[in-house]
Amino acid sequence: MRYALNHPIRFPLEMLLLAAVVGCGHQREPLPAESATAPRDPATIVVTAEPVMLRPVQRYVGMVGTLYGFEEMSLGSKVGGRVKRIGHDVSDRVEPGELLLEIDPTDFELNVRQAQRALQVEIAKLGLSEPPSPKTDLTTIPTVVQAQLRRDNAKTRLDRAKTLVERKAASEEELTEKTSEYRVAQAEYANQVLLARAGIAAIQVKQEALAIALQQLKDTHLRVPAPSQPMPGGQEKFTYAISSRTVSEGTYVMEGSEVFKLVIENPLKFRGRVPERKIGEVTLGQKAALFTSAYTDPFLGEVTRINPSIDTKTRAFEVEILIPNPDGKLKPGGFAKVGILTELDQQAVTVPIEAVVTFAGVTKLFLIEGGKAKEVQVTLGTQDTKWVEISSPQLAAGAQVVTSGQTAIANGSIVAVRESPAAKDTSLAAEPHRDADDGVAPIARKEATP
């Protein structure tokens, strides 16, 4: 006789929650000792029996998958240089704005000074003491003012020459000369306006260069960023956990190279795949229970995302479940099993787990009808450590099933029932429904060999 050991799942009815129960081998009960005074037919086989019971069973859609952080990111250095200081190490919890790493800023400070000097040169070329604003009037720039004065002076001399020519007090040659001087002054004024515009543009370029140098100097301090997504439930305060650090003090890092990995541990995201045939059973907002090999108790969550596409290779769609993790018991990257709660079946047909026998690929049990054993092949559903659901055929509530002595009987054998020495399980804890291929709660059953 051999036994298959597995890990069934419990669903307490009053909370509609899953609880992990470590399956254990069910030792076949020995045949009850016969009373020395109890006469019996030599052909009669003594067995124990218990009734078929109706129990509430929580149905669920099972899947397996991986845990991910609510937010995971890889931080790279925006500038290259030698690491001057490390602010935090692996497993530290950090908040947005905290310093993670500092790169030697000497070269970047020199770049800032150089950009500042270049900006001052461009400002001085226009005769200004500070950078012009976008609304600066070009006519107030000294070089333009100077050219304007020369133009106005040439215009005055031209007007005087016109008056003298009209009075026959000056020659036409003098008028022509003054006209030429005015046109040259006017062209010089226009040229100075263009040079002023070019000077202002050059100042703006130097300002941008200075801004870049200042930003690079700021980037020598690598700090914890703020998350791009709002935290669920309006949570304002949160921390990152450092999951990886690839540099140390004195290391030269290249621009863009990865130096830290951060993850938000609370809450976590579970992602798994559900078969296409279950698409009508999974909806947003459904409750779910998550199990890991490290803990016996489940972790409760909620379905938050359902992929609208079905993978053509696996014929499954991805489901994401948000799992609160305030104590940090769960770890990103961990393997887990999940049951998405669907409906509660109040009238599930169940029998003691000892009643089920599997041999040569056939799962069966024996009913007692009219003092004889009746063999019935069955399909199993949910199971606990003490009982198992019979999905088909439909058994009548209260019918007697053999719980020990199955190896000694066959279909039609005459049997005598003795009370089982084991205490009966009268608990009506609801259990999750299990599909044969969901991978969440494998059915533990007893296999018998003749």
Give the model confidence (pLDDT) of 187-220 as tens digits.
998 998 898 888 888 999 999 999 999 999 999 9
What confidence score (pLDDT) does residue 383 get?
80
- Check residue 27 and give its pLDDT: 40
In this structure, are residues 427 and 411 in contact, taking their beta carbons and an 8 Å threshold?
A: no
pLDDT at 213 (0 to 100): 95
E-strand stretches of 324-371? 335-352, 357-359, 362-369
What distance in Å separates the CA atoms of residue 378 and residue 393, rounded to the nearest whole number? 6
Q: Record the tokens describing residue 313, joined without a space.
A: 């290779």
Query: How far apart, in whole angstroms, are the C-alpha atoms of residue 52 and residue 75?
Result: 61
Helix residue spans in 10-99 (DSSP H): none
- pTM (predicted TM-score): 0.64
* pLDDT on residue 171: 82
Distance CA 341, CA 331 (A): 23
* pLDDT score of 20: 33
Cα-Cα end-to-end distance for the chain: 8
Angstrom distance (rounded) from CA 68 to CA 91: 16
Encoding tokens for residue 76? 């790279």
d(CA 148, CA 193): 10
| Tokens of residue 407, six digits | 């190896």
What DSSP string describes 43-66? T-EEEEEEE-EEEEEEEEEEEEEE
Q: Cis link prior to 308 (omega < 30° from 0)?
A: no
Strand partners of residue 319: 272, 306
Structure tokens at 383: 């199971």
Q: Which residues of the chain have pLDDT under 50?
A: 1-38, 423-450
